[in-house]
Structure 1
Amino acid sequence: MNTWQQHAAELTQELTRKGALAPSWRDAFASTPRHVFVPSFYDDDNNRVGADSPAGLAAVYADDSLVTQVASHPGGDFLWPTSSSTRPSLMAQMLGLLDVNDEQTVLEVGTGTGYNAALLCHRLGDRNVTSIDIDAGLVEAARARLAGIGFYPYLFVGDGAQGVAQRAPFGRIIATAGVAAIPPAWIGQLADDGVIVADIRGELASALIVATKNGPHQVRGRFHDIPGHFMWLRARPDHPLRHGADPATTFDFTDPQHATTDMPADAFDSREFRFLLQLAVPGLGPISSHLPEGGEGVFLRAEDDCSWVQYRPGDDNGKATVIYGGPRQLWPQVEDTWQRWSRWQYPGIRRFGMTAFDDGRRQIWLDHDYAVVL
C-alpha cells in the first residue's frame, strides 16, 4: 500500500515532468500532506469520497481539482460547488509565476482548504503568509489543519476583494479565486515592485495575469495563456453565487432590433475571442447554443440588466441574422469587438496585457502598454 509520502513524491515527479513545478517548490509539494487539507471530496455524482481509502488517497494526490464543499443552488434543486482544492499543476504554475524569495510576505486571497497556504508556509515560513476567505467555516477548518502540521499563518475572515490592510504591504499577492478585474485594495496593499498573480475571468473564458506594481497607484502585466477557471470571489458567505444574489433571468423580447453580420458563428467557439469579448463587454453571461425561440444559433445575455442577443448563422454564402434587445445595445459592442480582433489578425491571449489603477480604472493593451485598445 502506498503511503501519502509515496503519493506526494509521485505527484511531485509528475508535476516536474510536466514542466509545471519549479525546483524551488519541489520540496514543498513533496513534504506537504494534501490529504490533511482534503480529507474528503465530492465526485462527479456529488457523492462524498473519503481520503481514508486507498482509492480516495490516490485521488487526492492525483493532478486534479477536487470539489470539497457544496451548497444548494438558489436557481434550482441541485448542488453548487463553493470550495475546492485546485489542480496541483495549476497551483505549481501560479506559485512559480509568483517569483518569491525566501523572505517575501504573501497575501493569499481564497484560503479554501488551506493546502496552498501550507505550501507557502513551507517555502516562506508561516510568519510571512497571510490568507483571507469570506467563509468562516473554511478559515477555521484550515487553521486547525495548518496547526496540525505545525504552521500558524495569519488567517482572516472577510471579503477578499478588500485584502488585509493591517498586514500590508505585501511583496506578493496570489488569488485562488476568480476576479473580473484586479480589486483596487490589492494595488494599494502591494509593495513597490510587488507582484499580483490572479485569474482574470468572466463567464466566457479565463486567463492568468502577472502584474507588477510599477507606480504608486497602478499595476501592469501581461496575460498568460493559462486558464484558471477558479471559483468566483464571492460577495457573501451565505450565498453560493458570485454577486450574492439570485441571477436575473427576465428578458424583454418585445420590440427587438434586427441586423445582419459577416461575423462567423465559429468566432464564438474561439477562446481567444471570448476572452477579448468579456474584457470589452464586462458582465456577459455564459453563451448558450439554445435560442429562446428554438433553432440553431447563439444566445448572449448581460448578467446585470438582461440585455440579450440572438445570433442565427447564415448559409454558406449568406450573412448571419441578429436580433437583439434589452436596456442596452449589446450587439453593436459584440460586433465591434469582433471587427477589432479581425483587423488585428486574430491575436492570441498572451499578446494582450492590462494596466489596473487603484481608482478602479483599467486599460487593455495589445503588445505594448502604450498601445491601449480598450
Structure 2
Amino acid sequence: MTDEPGVEALAAELRRQLAGRLEKDGPLRSPEWRAAVEAVPRHAFIPRFYRQSDAPGVTTWEPVTPETVGQEEWLRLVYSDETWMTQFDGRDIDWTDPKPISNATPTSSSTLPSLVTRMLEDLDVHEGMNVLEIGTGTGYSTALMCHRLGGEAVTSIETDDGVARRAHEALAQTGHTPHLLVGDGRSGHRDRAPYQRLIATCGFRSIPPAWLEQVTPGGVILTTLRGWMRSLGLVKLIITGDSASGWFSEDAPSFMIARQQDAPESLGMVPEPEAGTKRKATYGPGILTSSGPAFMAQLAAPDARFFSMPVDGGPTGTFVLDSVTDSFAVLAPMGSGWQVRQGGPRRLWDAVESAVAIWEEYGSPSTAAFGVTVSPDGQAVWLGNPSGPQWPLPS
C-alpha cells in the first residue's frame, strides 16, 4: 500500500462511492457489510493486476500498476466493480518488468465486488459464527469477513503457495489475522471444525463429502457448481444431518474451477470419420452456448467438452467428446438442419437433447428453478422439487 500524500484519502472516498453503488444496485444490503467495504482497502490486495485489452485478435491481457496508468487511474480501476486478473497458468508474474500476456489461462483473480458482497450477504453470518473459506485468492474477501467477524472466526484455504503468500502479506499489512492454510480445499480443515458457514470462491464439480462433515446441522454451504463446459451457478445448501439441499441462484455467476478438478489436458480421441451411428439432430450446436440449454447440456454430459473444426474435410462441425468414457457426438450441417453422429458407451447428444426437451417442457425456467440434494447415496441436481427430473453430479 502506498504512503503518497492524498492516495489514502482518495482510496477512502472511492471505497465510500463503491459501497454506495453496491447498496443502490442491490448486492450490498446490510450496514455491517457496507462498513466492511468502506473499511477494507482493496488496493492493498491488488497493488498490480491485469485487465483484458480491447485490441482485436488473440485475447491479450495488459498490466495495470500505479506506474503504468498513474496513481489516480490505478485506484479508480481498483475500486470499480470489475474482476481483475492476478495470475495466469498457475505461474507467478514478474512484476519487475511486466509485459502483456497472450494465449494464457487466468488462474487467480480479484472477483468483482458486487459478486463478493452478494455472496457474503447470502452467507447470512452472525456474530460468533465460525466460517471456512475455500479459495483465499488475493485475500480481499477474507479481509471483509475478518472485519465483520474478527480474524479468530475466519479460516481460509488456498491451493497455490505464491497466491497464499501474497494474501498473507496483504492481510497482515491491513491488520487482519485469519487462520490461513495452503492445501486442497476439498478436504476442508478438521482442526478448526465445526463451522457454521462455508463459502467457496472457486467452482466445484460436486460437493466434497468433508464439507458436510465439518459444517454443523443448520449450517450453510455457499459454492459455485460447474463442469468442464461451463458454470452451473451459485448454490446455497442447508445442512441436515449427513445430507444437504438447496437452490441455485437466479443467475449463473462463474468462478475458476478448483485446480484439483480441472479438466484433463486431452479432450479425448477424435472419432474416425465412419465411427458411430447417424441421425437427424433435433437441436444444433447452438444450444451449447445458449444460457438455459447450455446449463442443461452441462448437466446431461458432465464429463464432456466441445470444439468446432471442419468435419471429414467438409464444412465446420462441432465435436462433443467425453474423455472419461470415450463417448462422442459429432454435429455436421445437413440441409437446413444438423446431423449427429454418436458412439461410445453414452449417447451424448441423446442425453443433451433429452435434458433440453425437459427444460422446455417445464417452461424454459431460469436456474432458480433448480435445486441440489447431497446425501451419502449420491448428489443430484433436480428441476422443480427433489421428486422432479434429476441429473447426477459427478462423484
State the TM-score, normalizing by the size of structure 2: 0.84
Gaps of 5+ in 1: 236-240
Residues 196, 72 of structure 1: CA spacing in aligned structure 2 closer, same or farther, 3 A cutoff? Answer: closer
Does 2:109 align with 1:89? no
Q: Tell me, in whole angstroms, the C-alpha distance in 1 between the residues paired with 2:159 and 2:230.
A: 25
For the aligned residue pairs, the C-alpha RMSD in angstroms reads: 2.3
Q: Which residue in 2 is equivalent to 1:21?
A: 28
Residues 320, 277 of structure 1: CA spacing in aligned structure 2 closer, same or farther, 3 A cutoff? Answer: same
Does 2:371 align with 1:371? no
Contact map agreement 1:251 1:306 (CA 8 A) in 2: no
Secondary structure, counterpart of 2:390 in structure 1: coil
Q: Which residue of 32, 37, 56 maps to 2:45?
A: 37
Q: Which residue of 239, 242, 257 maps to 1:217?
A: 242
Contact map agreement 1:283 1:303 (CA 8 A) in 2: yes
Within 5 Å, which residues of 2 pair with 1:68-83? 68-71=86-89, 78-83=103-108
Matched letter for residue 49 of structure 1: V
Secondary structure, counterpart of 2:164 in structure 1: helix
Contact map agreement 2:267 2:322 (CA 8 A) in 1: no
How far 1:299 sits from its partner (Å)? 3.0
Within 5 Å, which residues of 2 pair with 1:212-251? 212-213=238-239, 215-235=240-260, 242-243=262-263, 246-251=265-270
Contact map agreement 2:231 2:253 (CA 8 A) in 1: no
Q: Which residue in 2 is equivalent to 1:349?
A: 367
Matched letter for residue 287 of structure 2: A
Within 5 Å, which residues of 2 pair with 1:99-248? 99-202=124-227, 203-213=229-239, 215-235=240-260, 242-243=262-263, 246-248=265-267
Q: Which residue in 1 is equivalent to 2:96?
A: none
Q: Tell me, in whole angstroms, the C-alpha distance in 2 between the residues paired with 1:323 and 1:96.
A: 47
Matched letter for residue 234 of structure 2: L
How far 1:143 sits from its partner (Å)? 1.2
Residues 219, 160 of structure 1: CA spacing in aligned structure 2 closer, same or farther, 3 A cutoff? Answer: same
Residues 341, 291 of structure 1: CA spacing in aligned structure 2 closer, same or farther, 3 A cutoff? Answer: farther
Secondary structure, counterpart of 2:138 in structure 1: coil
Q: Tell me, in whole angstroms, the C-alpha distance in 2 between the residues paired with 1:143 and 1:357.
A: 35
Secondary structure, counterpart of 1:354 in structure 2: strand
How far 1:328 sits from its partner (Å)? 3.5
Contact map agreement 1:251 1:326 (CA 8 A) in 2: no
Residues 13, 292 of structure 1: CA spacing in aligned structure 2 closer, same or farther, 3 A cutoff? Answer: farther
Q: Tell me, in whole angstroms, the C-alpha distance in 2 between the residues paired with 1:308 and 1:292.
A: 14
Matched letter for residue 343 of structure 2: G
Secondary structure, counterpart of 2:202 in structure 1: coil
How far 1:36 sits from its partner (Å)? 0.5
How far 1:60 sits from its partner (Å)? 1.0
Q: Tell me, in whole angstroms, the C-alpha distance in 2 between the residues paired with 1:231 and 1:51.
A: 27
Gaps of 5+ in 2: 1-5, 53-59, 92-101
Q: Which residue of 291, 295, 314 maps to 1:271?
A: 291
43-52 or 193-202, larger mean C-alpha shift: 43-52
Q: Tell me, in whole angstroms, the C-alpha distance in 2 between the residues paired with 1:108 and 1:344.
A: 35
329-338 or 183-192, larger mean C-alpha shift: 329-338
How far 1:149 sits from its partner (Å)? 1.2
Q: Which residue in 2 is equivalent to 1:238?
A: none
Secondary structure, counterpart of 2:204 in structure 1: coil
Q: Which residue in 1 is equivalent to 2:61?
A: 46
How far 1:159 sits from its partner (Å)? 0.3
Q: Tell me, in whole angstroms, the C-alpha distance in 2 between the residues paired with 1:248 and 1:314.
A: 25
Q: Tell me, in whole angstroms, the C-alpha distance in 2 between the residues paired with 1:13 and 1:314.
A: 54
105-114 or 258-267, larger mean C-alpha shift: 258-267
